[in-house]
Amino acid sequence: MKNVILSVRSLEVRTLSRAILGGVSFELQESELVSVVGPSGSGKSTLLRALNRLAGETPGLMVSGEVLYHGQNIFSCCRVHELRKNIGMLFQKPCVYPGSILRNVLFGVKHHQKLNAKLAADISERSLRKAHLWEEVKDRLHHPAFELSMGQKQRLCFARLLAVDPEILLLDEPTANLDPHSTLEIEKTLMELKDSKSIILVTHLLSQARRLSDRVIMISAASGTGIIVEDGSAAEFFENPKALETQAYLKS
Query: What residue ranges bind other proteins (CB under 8 A)?
Result: 52, 54, 57, 59, 79, 81-86, 88-91, 93, 95, 97-98, 107-108, 111-112, 146, 157, 160-161, 164, 166
Q: Which residue, 78 or 250, has its beta carbon nearer to other proteins? A: 78
Q: How far, in Å, CA of 39 to CA of 144, rounded?
A: 37
| Torsion-angle region of 15 (φ positive above 0: left; ψ -120 to 50: alpha; else: beta) | beta
Q: Which residue, 97 or 188, has its beta carbon nearer to other proteins? A: 97
200 forms beta bridges with 34, 170
Q: Which residue, 32 or 165, has its beta carbon nearer to other proteins? A: 165
Q: How far, in Å, CA of 75 to CA of 51, rounded?
A: 9
What is the chain's length?
A: 252
CB of 92 to other proteins, least distance (A): 10
Q: Which residue, 62 or 243, has its beta carbon nearer to other proteins? A: 62
Cα 139 from chain centroid (whole Å): 29
What SS3 class is residue 70? coil
Cα dihedral 49→43→152→133 (10° resolution)? 60
Q: How far, in Å, CA of 19 to CA of 78, rounded?
A: 26
Q: Which residue, 33 or 161, has its beta carbon nearer to other proteins? A: 161
